[in-house]
A and B are shown apart, each in its own frame.
Chain A
């Protein structure tokens, strides 16, 4: 398939041709797909997105969610997104940067959302993930707990859970943990 005469020809040519062609960054297929996701984002008023590294780094961004109903109404919660070059083969890595009292988010910011791990599919996109996160605030779920205490409280005493959530969002302490003020 390689025609050898061409190989030889090329060897002579390379010396001459090696000048122009400025070194430009390679854009991975993952970056291009993410470009598509981002340019098609359709977020509700309650969600915002920022790009800390400027307009040309879409692989790292932050999403803020301000739930307009439910236990977390009035709070503002920040999530960091890190997207791999083989996206969408791999789900984005999402962490909650606000220390939050929530059954499905632990104090390190790990998020238990099925589409971020076991149920991720390449047809999903950034929009779906953000809606999934939003859903965690309107429908916190004690059956998939990451914060065991919060989950137990939600199940056994929703009233106390609710007041704990308000308390935590004001930046107060519950047990040994100080939560981020986000209201």
Chain B
């Protein structure tokens, strides 16, 4: 039976956390201890303090999480105010993360939110390892891809290629575009990571340059002409900054001239911003729905009080309303979250010998391998200019080339010969050096 809980602010939450149930997750252990631990120990990072970020912070605080941090590089703009409800007119120009953290702390007692006004790339990788769950309220593929790579880099696999649970860094990702949105749960090693399913994102609409230059047919063509062609013609060398209002105004004025020339209606300043910055009108309630779904998943992951979303929810409110949950599958060869091929080596093995070994290794069967290690190209088979620059590495021990790190990940590209068929392939390899102090077993780091 449930513990007798003292009356608490989290009365509604207690109904979930203090009582057992039939639909709970496998690790659920109800009781006051769980509730208190959840509040004391679980640390959640919210990435983005925009439309979704504001909602996420508010929802997470109201769901009883007490240790939150938020990271965002943007300052508040007046056009944010219709939906980013933590901000007021007098906040325009201030960092979003700082204002959002302050406002939520003012309204929800007991919550502590640490703001970080910087780019996500500015933080050390270890910064991200401090959190138990990362909630994403982002609007770009680049940023998602980066956070995903960071979170997956903490993942370790054991010698049987099973992911080690204590190294999993769960992410909850939300995204909205107008009336549409998605919420997904990414548990690296268990559910597909962002990179496994990057094809889900539709390609950006790009107009042919010659259409822009010769035969514009709509307002967007006129705007892109001013943005992509006219800007360079006039401002040689100066790059266009979409966040600079003077730049935007210039593009707008040029687009209007262009539109008049071709008799095209519809060029407005806000459309110019929309086309140039790829903005789709944001709708407050879509953010609210998606954020609520993400926050619930965060609570479920942290507490085990219910099974989690498996694993991708889409919401579409364009015509009527449609929601659907799809269970996507992992790409077993994913370069970012997959285990890679485990290879044990002596510290004396040279790069040349290692490349030869990949031909024989039954798990690899790769000929003509090029090797890259954390952005350092150790050996390149082509083009000749790079082959020449990397050739001298061939005679060096791989252990030295890998900075004498006893176990780490590298990547190999080459021709894979399987079942008499040749195909080109890119593989992740987990290299372990034998007989090095500190390696007690074969477990080793994963990640890209």
Q: Are A118 and B125 neighbours in the complex by a CB distance under 8 Å?
A: no
Per-position binary interface string of chain B over residues 136-153, scored 1 when its CB falls under 8 Å from any chain A CB and 0 otherwise: 000001100110011001
Per-position binary interface string of chain A over residues 32-48, scored 1 when its CB falls under 8 Å from any chain B CB and 0 otherwise: 11011011111100001
Q: Are A39 and B198 neighbours in the complex by a CB distance under 8 Å?
A: no
Would you give the shortest CB distance from A93 to chain B, in whole angstroms? 11
Tell me the bound Cα distance from A27 to B145 in angstroms: 11
Tell me the bound Cα distance from A55 to B29 in angstroms: 53
A117 within 8 A of B: yes
Q: Are B382 and A117 neighbours in the complex by a CB distance under 8 Å?
A: no
Per-position binary interface string of chain A over residues 11-31, scored 1 when its CB falls under 8 Å from any chain B CB and 0 otherwise: 100100010011111111111
B308 within 8 A of A: yes
Q: Please give me the 6 A-B residue pairs with the lowest Cβ-Cβ distance, nearest first.
A: A39-B370, A144-B210, A108-B232, A117-B206, A36-B413, A112-B210
B90 within 8 A of A: no
Q: Are A36 and B132 neighbours in the complex by a CB distance under 8 Å?
A: no
Q: Are A56 and B426 neighbours in the complex by a CB distance under 8 Å?
A: no
Per-position binary interface string of chain B over residues 383-416, scored 1 when its CB falls under 8 Å from any chain A CB and 0 otherwise: 1011001100000000000010100000101100
The verdict on A33 contacting B426 (CB below 8 Å), with A1-B187, A146-B213 known, is yes
Tell me the bound Cα distance from A51 to B383 in angstroms: 11
A6 within 8 A of B: yes
A114 within 8 A of B: yes
Tell me the bound Cα distance from A135 to B427 in angstroms: 32
A-side contacts of B142, CB under 8 Å: 84-86
Would you give the shortest CB distance from B336 to chain A, in whole angstroms? 6
Q: Are A6 and B166 neighbours in the complex by a CB distance under 8 Å?
A: yes
B204 within 8 A of A: yes
**Could you tell me which A residues sit within 8 Å of B by CB distance?**
1-4, 6-8, 10-11, 14, 18, 21-33, 35-36, 38-43, 48-51, 54-56, 58, 84-86, 89-91, 104, 106-112, 114, 117-118, 120-122, 144-146, 148
Q: Are B42 and A35 neighbours in the complex by a CB distance under 8 Å?
A: no
Q: Are A4 and B335 neighbours in the complex by a CB distance under 8 Å?
A: no
Tell me the bound Cα distance from A103 to B254 in angstroms: 23
A-side contacts of B150, CB under 8 Å: 26
Q: Are A104 and B380 neighbours in the complex by a CB distance under 8 Å?
A: no
Would you give the shortest CB distance from B200 to chain A, in whole angstroms? 11
Per-position binary interface string of chain B over residues 412-448, scored 1 when its CB falls under 8 Å from any chain A CB and 0 otherwise: 0110000000001010000000000000000000001
Tell me the bound Cα distance from A1 to B308 in angstroms: 9
Interface centre among A10, A90, A117 (most CB of B within 10 A): A117
Q: Are A145 and B214 neighbours in the complex by a CB distance under 8 Å?
A: yes
Which of B42, B213, B414 meets A106, CB within 8 Å? Answer: B213
Q: Which residue of A lies closest to B389 (CB)?
A: A55
The verdict on A55 contacting B390 (CB below 8 Å), with A3-B27, A35-B411 known, is yes
Q: Are A2 and B335 neighbours in the complex by a CB distance under 8 Å?
A: no
Tell me the bound Cα distance from A126 to B142 in angstroms: 20
**Could you tell me which B residues sit within 8 Å of A by CB distance?**
25, 27, 29, 34, 37-38, 41-42, 124-126, 130, 132-133, 141-142, 145-146, 149-150, 153, 165-166, 168, 170, 187, 195, 198-199, 201, 203-204, 206-210, 213-214, 228-229, 232-233, 236, 301-302, 304, 308, 335-336, 370, 372, 374-377, 380-383, 385-386, 389-390, 403, 405, 411, 413-414, 424, 426, 448
A-side contacts of B374, CB under 8 Å: 24-25, 27
Which of B199, B213, B232, B390 meets A148, CB within 8 Å? Answer: B213
Q: Which residue of A lies closest to B426 (CB)?
A: A36
Not counting A38-B382, A109-B232, a sample of 5 additional A-B residue pairs whose C-beta atoms are within 8 angstroms of each other reads A1-B27, A1-B304, A7-B41, A40-B382, A118-B206
Interface centre among A7, A43, A145 (most CB of B within 10 A): A7
Q: Which residue of B lies closest to A21 (CB)?
A: B126
Q: Are B335 and A89 neighbours in the complex by a CB distance under 8 Å?
A: no
Would you give the shortest CB distance from B152 to chain A, in whole angstroms? 10
The verdict on A49 contacting B132 (CB below 8 Å), with A36-B426, A112-B208, A145-B210 known, is no
Would you give the shortest CB distance from A20 to chain B, in whole angstroms? 8
Would you give the shortest CB distance from B192 to chain A, in whole angstroms? 13
- Between A and B, 7 residue pairs with Cβ closer than 8 Å are A26-B125, A27-B372, A29-B336, A31-B375, A39-B381, A89-B203, A144-B214
Q: Are A112 and B424 neighbours in the complex by a CB distance under 8 Å?
A: no
Tell me the bound Cα distance from A21 to B385 in angstroms: 33
Tell me the bound Cα distance from A118 to B187 in angstroms: 34
Q: Are A146 and B209 neighbours in the complex by a CB distance under 8 Å?
A: yes
A-side contacts of B210, CB under 8 Å: 104, 112, 144-146
Would you give the shortest CB distance from B28 to chain A, in whole angstroms? 10
Q: Are A29 and B42 neighbours in the complex by a CB distance under 8 Å?
A: no
B-side contacts of A43, CB under 8 Å: 383
Q: Which residue of A lies closest to B230 (CB)?
A: A108
Tell me the bound Cα distance from A29 to B198 in angstroms: 11
A-side contacts of B168, CB under 8 Å: 1
Tell me the bound Cα distance from A41 to B413 in angstroms: 12
